[in-house]
Amino acid sequence: MPNTSLLPLLSSGMFVSGQDLADLLGVSRTAVWKQLNKLEELGLEIESVKGKGYRIPGGITLLDEQAVRDTMAVDSLPLLAMLDLRDAIGSTNAEAMSQIAAGRGSGYVCTAEQQTAGRGRRGREWVSPYARNLYLSAVWEYEQGAAVLEGMSLAVGVVVARALAACGVPPVQLKWPNDLLYEGAKLGGILLEMTGDPAGACQVVVGIGVNVSMPGKAAEGIDQSWTDVSRINSGSPLDRNLLLAAILDELLPMLASFEATGFEAWRDEWLLLDAYAGADVVLHSGNKKTAGKAMGVDKRGALLLQTVSAGVQAIYGGEISLRPAS
C-alpha cells in the first residue's frame, strides 16, 4: 500500500511549506520529498512554488465509508451488504469476481482510490489515477442466467445519469451500449460481467467508472475525447463520497428489482438521454463496418439501426462500437 500520510496535510489545496510538512510528520525534508515523489507516481498533481511550499491544486477528499453510509437514503442503505473500500487495487471488477468466489453475494460493493489494472469494455485500459475519479463494482445475484443481462448496462447508464443530476451536474447523455457523454466527450463507462450458470443461478458484476477530476498528465494516454465532472462544473469540485452515495441510492434498488422489471421499465428514460437519437452512425465490429441511422433501442436494449439495404435491424451488444458517421 502506498504511503499516503502526506495526503491529509495537503488535502485542503492550500500551500504548506516543506519544513512544516517535515515538522508535522516528524521526518526529514528528504523524507518529505520522497513521499511527494511517491504521490506524483500515483498520478496526483503536486504543485511546488518557491517560498510557499507544496499543494495539491483543488485539494483532495479521500473516500470514506462512514461518509457514504451517512449520506445514503434510508431505503437503499439496507441493500448495501458490504462497502469494501480499497486504497490501490488491480481492478474493482476483478476483486468483485474474487469475492463472489469467496462467497459474497448481492449488495457487495468494491470501490478503490486507484486501479492499477482498470479496464473497460473490449479490454481497453481504464485510466485510474489515485483519488481523482470514481471506480466501483457491485454484485447482485439472479436466477434467470444471462437473460437478465438484456439491457442492464443501459439501465445502469440511466442510474448514473440520475445520480450525477442529483449532485448538481448538468445533464449528461448516454451512448449505446455503455458510455456516459457530455457534449460528445466521454465522462464515464460501464462494464458488466457474469459468472455462474448462463441459464440459471448467476452473479452479475456491475462496474462503473466516472471521471471526476482527471489530472491532465494522467489523461495523456487516453485516445478519445474525454471530460470530467470538474470541467462540466466549471472547475467546481464534487465530493466523490457524495457521488458514490448518490449512485448506490439509485443502483442498488435497480439491481434488486431488475429481474422483475427488465429494461423495459427504463427504456423511456434512456431514450430521453440518447446521445445519437436519429443520427447517422457507423457500427464497427472487427473489420466489419455498418452504416445507418440510430433509431433508439427496443425493450430488450438492442440498438435499432435503420439501413438502406435491410431497413430497421435490432443490434445486440458484444464486440461492437458505435461511432458517429464522419
C-alpha grid cell, residue 254: 435497480
Q: Are strands 179-182 and 173-175 parallel, antiparallel or unpaired?
A: antiparallel
C-alpha grid cell, residue 137: 463494482
- The answer to whether residue 128 sits within a structural domain is yes
Q: Among candidates 324, 263, 323, which has minimal Cα distance to 299? A: 263
Q: Is omega for the bond preceding 8 within 30 degrees of 0, making it cis?
A: no
What pLDDT does residue 4 have? 52
C-alpha grid cell, residue 261: 422489471
- The answer to whether residue 60 sits within a structural domain is no
Question: What is each CA distance from 265 to 137, 147, 270, 299, in whole angstroms?
Answer: 23, 16, 10, 8
Partners of 135 in the beta sheet? 112, 209
Question: What is each CA distance from 199 to 145, 179, 316, in whole angstroms?
Answer: 4, 27, 18
Measure the CA–CA gap between 323 and 326, rounded to whole angstroms. 9
What pLDDT does residue 128 have? 72
**CATH code where residue 291 lies:** 2.30.30.100
- Tell whether 297 and 174 lie within a shared domain: no
Supply the range of the domain harboring residue 35: 7-55
List the pLDDT tens digit at each of the 326 positions of the chain. Answer: 344 578 888 888 899 999 999 999 999 999 999 999 988 877 788 899 999 999 988 788 899 999 999 999 999 999 999 999 998 899 999 999 999 999 999 999 999 999 887 655 545 555 677 888 999 999 999 998 988 889 999 999 999 999 999 999 999 999 999 999 999 999 999 999 999 999 999 999 999 999 998 866 655 566 678 999 999 998 787 999 999 999 999 999 999 999 999 999 999 999 999 999 999 999 998 889 999 999 999 999 999 999 998 899 999 877 788 999 97
What pLDDT does residue 256 have? 98
- Name the active-site residue from 55, 132, 186, 240: 186
* pTM (two decimals): 0.89
- Name the active-site residue from 52, 217, 299, 323: 323
- Tell whether 246 and 153 lie within a shared domain: yes
- Tell whether 49 and 70 lie within a shared domain: no
- The answer to whether residue 2 sits within a structural domain is no
- Tell whether 149 and 298 lie within a shared domain: no
**Catalytic residue flag (residue 299):** no
- Tell whether 108 and 250 lie within a shared domain: yes
- Tell whether 88 and 221 lie within a shared domain: yes
- Tell whether 140 and 202 lie within a shared domain: yes
What pLDDT does residue 2 have? 43
**CATH code where residue 50 lies:** 1.10.10.10
- Tell whether 14 and 102 lie within a shared domain: no
**CATH code where residue 231 lies:** 3.30.930.10
**Catalytic residue flag (residue 323):** yes
- Tell whether 294 and 175 lie within a shared domain: no
- Name the active-site residue from 121, 132, 162, 175: 121
**Catalytic residue flag (residue 267):** no
Q: Among candidates 212, 289, 244, which has minimal Cα distance to 138? A: 244
What stretch of H or E contains 158? helix 152-166
Measure the CA–CA gap between 149 and 309, rounded to whole angstroms. 30
- How many domains, in total, are found in the chain? 3
- Tell whether 21 and 81 lie within a shared domain: no
Question: What is each CA distance from 197 to 97, 148, 322, in whole angstroms?
Answer: 14, 12, 30
- Tell whether 163 and 73 lie within a shared domain: yes
